[in-house]
Structure 1
Amino acid sequence: MSDFQQARQILGARLSELRAEAGMEGKDLAAKLGWQPSKVSRLQNGKQTASAPDIAAWADAVGRPDVEPELQGLRAGVELKHRTWRRQLAGGHSERQKLAIRETDATTLIRALEVSRIPGLFQTREYARAIFDANARFREIPATTEQAVANRMRRQEALYEPGKEFRFLLCEAALYHRSCPKPVMAEQLDRLYGVVGMPRVDLGILPFGTQLRRTAPHAFWIYDRRQVIVETITEELWLTADDDIRLYERAWDWLAESAERGTMARRLIGRARASLDLA
Structure 2
Amino acid sequence: MPSSPSPSSSVQAARQSLADRLRELRQAAELSGTDLAAAVGWHKSKVSRIEKAVQPVTQSDIRAWCEACGAQGQADDLIASLRAAEGGYVEWRRLEPTGLRKLQQSYVPLYEQTRWMRVYQPHVIPGLFQTAGYVRALLQVITDFRNIPNDVEAAVEARLGRRRVLTTGGHTFAFLIEQCVLDYRIGGPAVMAEQLRHLLEDMSLPSASVGIIPASAPRAMWPVEGFTVYDTTQVHVELLTANVTVTAPSELNTYFKAFDELSALAVYGSAARELVSGALVALEAQ
Could you say which TM-score interval applies, normalised by the shorter chain? 0.7 to 0.9
What is aligned with 1:178? 185
CA distance in 1, matches of 2:172, 2:217: 26
CA distance in 1, matches of 2:265, 2:81: 37
SS at match of 2:196: helix
Q: Is the 8 A contact 1:183 1:278 kept in 2?
A: no
Q: Is the 8 A contact 1:91 1:142 kept in 2?
A: yes
Q: How far has the Cα of 1:102 moved from its partner? A: 1.7
Q: Is the 8 A contact 1:50 1:75 kept in 2?
A: no
Deviations 1:26-83 (A, max 9, x none): xx989738xxxxxxxxxx997964575344358x7xxxxxxxxxx9897375277001
What is aligned with 1:97? 104
Q: How far has the Cα of 1:262 moved from its partner? A: 0.8
What is aligned with 2:66? 56
Does 2:70 match 1:32? no
Q: How far has the Cα of 1:236 moved from its partner? A: 0.8
CA distance in 2, matches of 1:196, 1:74: 37
CA distance in 2, matches of 1:49, 1:153: 39
Deviations 1:222-271 (A, max 9, x none): 00011000011110110001111111000000110111111111110011
Distance 1:50 1:117, change over 3 A: farther
What is aligned with 1:234? 241
Does 2:253 match 1:246? yes
Q: Is the 8 A contact 1:196 1:265 kept in 2?
A: no
Q: Which of 257, 263, 270 does residue 256 from structure 1 map onto? A: 263
Distance 1:55 1:124, change over 3 A: farther
Q: What is the letter of the counterpart of residue 248 of structure 2?
A: A
Q: Is the 8 A contact 1:101 1:151 kept in 2?
A: no
Q: Is the 8 A contact 1:127 1:180 kept in 2?
A: yes
CA distance in 1, matches of 2:57, 2:173: 34
Q: Which of 168, 193, 201 does residue 200 from structure 2 map onto? A: 193
Q: Is the 8 A contact 1:175 1:272 kept in 2?
A: yes
CA distance in 1, matches of 2:277, 2:244: 34
Contiguous gaps of at least 5 residues in structure 1: 16-21, 34-43, 61-70
Q: Is the 8 A contact 1:189 1:269 kept in 2?
A: yes
CA distance in 2, matches of 1:154, 1:138: 24
What is aligned with 2:164? 157
TM-score by length of 2: 0.75
CA distance in 2, matches of 1:172, 1:51: 47
What is aligned with 1:140? 147
Q: How far has the Cα of 1:147 moved from its partner? A: 1.3
Matched-pair identity in %: 28
Q: How far has the Cα of 1:277 moved from its partner? A: 2.7
Q: Is the 8 A contact 1:167 1:202 kept in 2?
A: yes
Contiguous gaps of at least 5 residues in structure 2: 1-6, 20-32, 43-53, 70-77
CA distance in 2, matches of 1:270, 1:100: 31
Q: Which of 96, 103, 116 does residue 109 from structure 1 map onto? A: 116
Does 2:233 match 1:219? no
Q: How far has the Cα of 1:140 moved from its partner? A: 0.5
Q: What is the letter of the counterpart of residue 231 of structure 1?
A: E
Q: Is the 8 A contact 2:90 2:242 kept in 1?
A: yes
What is aligned with 1:202? 209
